[in-house]
Amino acid sequence: MDRQERNAQFARALIELRSMVLGAAFGAGERLPETALAERLSLSRTPLRQAMDRLVDEGLLERVETGGCRVAQFKLSDIKDAIELRGVLEGTAARLAAERGMVPALATRLDEVLSELDTAVAGTLDFRSYQKFNAEFHDLLGRLAGSTILAKELERAGRLPAASPSSFLQGQEMIPDFRESLTRAQQQHRAMADAIRAREGARAEALAREHARLARANLEYVMRKEPALAERVPGLSLIAD
Amino acid sequence: MDRQERNAQFARALIELRSMVLGAAFGAGERLPETALAERLSLSRTPLRQAMDRLVDEGLLERVETGGCRVAQFKLSDIKDAIELRGVLEGTAARLAAERGMVPALATRLDEVLSELDTAVAGTLDFRSYQKFNAEFHDLLGRLAGSTILAKELERAGRLPAASPSSFLQGQEMIPDFRESLTRAQQQHRAMADAIRAREGARAEALAREHARLARANLEYVMRKEPALAERVPGLSLIAD
DNA sequence: TGACCGAAAACTGTATACAGAATAGCGTCG
DNA sequence: CGACGCTATTCTGTATACAGTTTTCGGTCA
């Protein structure tokens, strides 16, 4: 039965179920019936339940007292907190990298990524490229201090709804104000790297926190002026305010 | 079969397995055979596997490529990072509580707990009482800002090995230097509460971080001067350095 | 008409069965 | 005597069976 890789069914269940939840495939607070879902995904209840457990842990689902799970409800403040949390953790990663020195292998890659980002925002904006290298920048940042535990926790924080560094880079190239925002973000990227290199821990930390505030600004912008777009940002459909 | 509460088997599996792992019931990097373990705990593989998944997520176990799990190995630096992480998160909780104001209900309870801690360290040390109210103080701190997400993440961080605020309060009343450490800790508790009340966010954050450094100092003391005691602190048996 | 009660259906948590992969043990060959 | 390969056992991942609980729906009574 294991013709495929090690736990293919579970992996599939996790990915599909997560994207279903984020994509608002279920109504607000709706309970998820295991049997039906399992059939719908054409796998058995066992790996599906594994996936549900995981999503509960990630915060997307919540266990209901009487049994089973339902999709979690978020207030706008929860999303803001999640972004703040990511900022704090990235700030810590930046500070520790400054204090301890960067992991050499990652440091050289960081420079390359920064260059790529520069060219992505220079001249005509290469949105796809920016998207890709921005994600890598934040991934590198998390691992730059060489702390496995911090990197893991940062990865987890990025899975909270709309808290990932890439959350607001989903087909937003059409928003005119957005171009400038990306330029500012890249300036902050550079400043963070400079601070880390110069062993300026406090500055690096403050910059990372401020950088996360851009995401918060985007969140507020989208919620206020482009509610239609809120559909496209992964977790925003879960907001009930 | 569900004569007991909702998922009793899983809960039991989780608690017992975690305490087994923390208590060094398994050798370094040993693989955990599911069938044998299930029989040993007299439950089926299903809830046991759930518990294992959870412990993997907590970081106590790690999945091995070929299948199954083994107990994770930690370097001393990992434990230090876990403590630092808790400090950062508690610092954020303190700062946000200062900036936003404390949740009223929790604020009054905080005062009571601080009084209890005062009397616990005054005169002859009431270690058991200190232990209990210290745990509650840190729990309150995590929820003081009213952020569910932050509280959850803080709770998670406390489950990393030896990172909980109570980790180094396990029967250490016999160490002479320790008494003074508790007094200093309580002074820091008071200072944090003062800062939060006065809306001094930066000070509150800094104090919380410094407070966590006490745990780090305890860690280093135990590892260097009382290796015998390292057996008694929950996660320290997992350190391979 | 509306509320309460009871039976049936649906659903969850747990145990077990099953299939394929990994590992260990043993024999054989160099 | 040691290395290699084959087979048997063990173990994991997945599916399914089962028991008890929750929920729903229809009927009865006020």
For the segment A183-191, the average pLDDT, to the nearest whole number, is 97
Q: Is pLDDT above 90 for A209?
A: yes
Mutate to test the interface with A, among B4, B56, B81 (most CBs of A within 10 A): B81
Q: Which of B107, B92, B82 is nearest to B151 (CA)?
A: B92
pLDDT per residue over A91-127, tens digit each? 999 999 999 999 999 999 999 999 999 999 998 888 8
Distance of alpha carbon A205 from alpha carbon A190, whole angstroms = 13
Nucleotide closest to A33 measured between CA and C1': C11
- Domain at B211, CATH number: 1.20.120.530
In a domain, B241, yes or no: no
Percentage with pLDDT > 90 across chain A:
78
In this structure, are B90 and B166 located in the same domain? yes
In this structure, are B98 and B61 located in the same domain? no
In this structure, are B100 and B171 located in the same domain? yes
In this structure, are A168 and A148 located in the same domain? yes
Q: What is the pLDDT of residue B2?
A: 40
Round to a whole number and report the distance in Å from the CA of A152 to the C1' of C21: 30
When CB atoms are compared, the residue of B96, B149, B157 closest to A82 is B149
pLDDT confidence tier of residue A233, bands split at 50, 70 and 90: confident
In this structure, are B87 and B168 located in the same domain? yes
Q: Which of B166, B177, B171, B157 is nearest to B79 (CA)?
A: B157
Q: Is pLDDT above 50 for A3?
A: no
In a domain, A226, yes or no: yes
Is the C-beta of residue B181 closer than 7 Å to nucleic acid chain C?
no
In this structure, are B88 and B52 located in the same domain? no
At a CB cut-off of 8 Å and minimum separation 6, what does A93 contact? A141, A142, A143, A144, A145, A147, A150, A151, A154, A208
In this structure, are A39 and A140 located in the same domain? no
Q: Which domain holds residue B50?
A: 3-71
Total domains in chain A come to 2
pLDDT per residue over A25-51, tens digit each? 998 878 999 999 999 999 999 999 999
Q: In B59-197, which residue ranges form alpha helices assigned H by DSSP? A: 76-100, 104-121, 127-143, 148-157, 178-197
User: Which DSSP letter does residue A8 get?
Assistant: H
In this structure, are B52 and B130 located in the same domain? no
- Domain at A50, CATH number: 1.10.10.10
In a domain, A57, yes or no: yes
Of B17, B46, B71, the position where a domain reaches its end is B71
Q: What is the pLDDT of residue A226?
A: 81
Distance of alpha carbon B155 from alpha carbon B158, whole angstroms = 5
Determine if residue A42 is left, alpha or beta; phi over 0 gives left, psi from -120 to 50 gives alpha, anything else beta: left
CA B192 to chain CA centroid, Å, is: 19
pLDDT per residue over B196-208, tens digit each? 999 999 999 999 9
Structure tokens at A235: 């977790």
- A39: distance to nearest CA of chain B, Å? 20
pLDDT confidence tier of residue A4, bands split at 50, 70 and 90: low
Bases of chain D within 7 A of a CB of the protein = 10-23
Distance of alpha carbon B93 from alpha carbon B154, whole angstroms = 9
In this structure, are A87 and A196 located in the same domain? yes
Q: Which of B230, B53, B36 is nearest to A52 (CA)?
A: B53
> Does the reported pTM lie above 0.85?
yes
- Which parts of chain B register pLDDT below 70? 1-4, 171-176
pLDDT confidence tier of residue A240, bands split at 50, 70 and 90: confident
Q: Which comes out higher in pLDDT, residue A236 or A113?
A: A113
In this structure, are B90 and B191 located in the same domain? yes
User: Which DSSP letter does residue A85 get?
Assistant: H
pLDDT per residue over B37-52, tens digit each? 999 999 999 999 999 9
Nucleotide closest to B13 measured between CA and C1': C14
Q: What is the pLDDT of residue A2?
A: 38
pLDDT confidence tier of residue A55, bands split at 50, 70 and 90: very high
Using an 8 Å Cβ cutoff, are A160 and A61 in contact?
no
In a domain, B240, yes or no: no
Distance of alpha carbon B15 from alpha carbon B21, whole angstroms = 10
Is the C-beta of residue A65 closer than 7 Å to nucleic acid chain C?
no
In a domain, A194, yes or no: yes
- B82: distance to nearest CA of chain A, Å? 7
In this structure, are A192 and A110 located in the same domain? yes
Using an 8 Å Cβ cutoff, are B68 and B76 in contact?
no
Bases of chain C within 7 A of a CB of the protein = 10-23
Of B44, B71, B98, the position where a domain reaches its end is B71
Q: What is the pLDDT of residue A1?
A: 43
Is the C-beta of residue B9 closer than 7 Å to nucleic acid chain C?
yes
In this structure, are A41 and A85 located in the same domain? no
In a domain, A241, yes or no: no
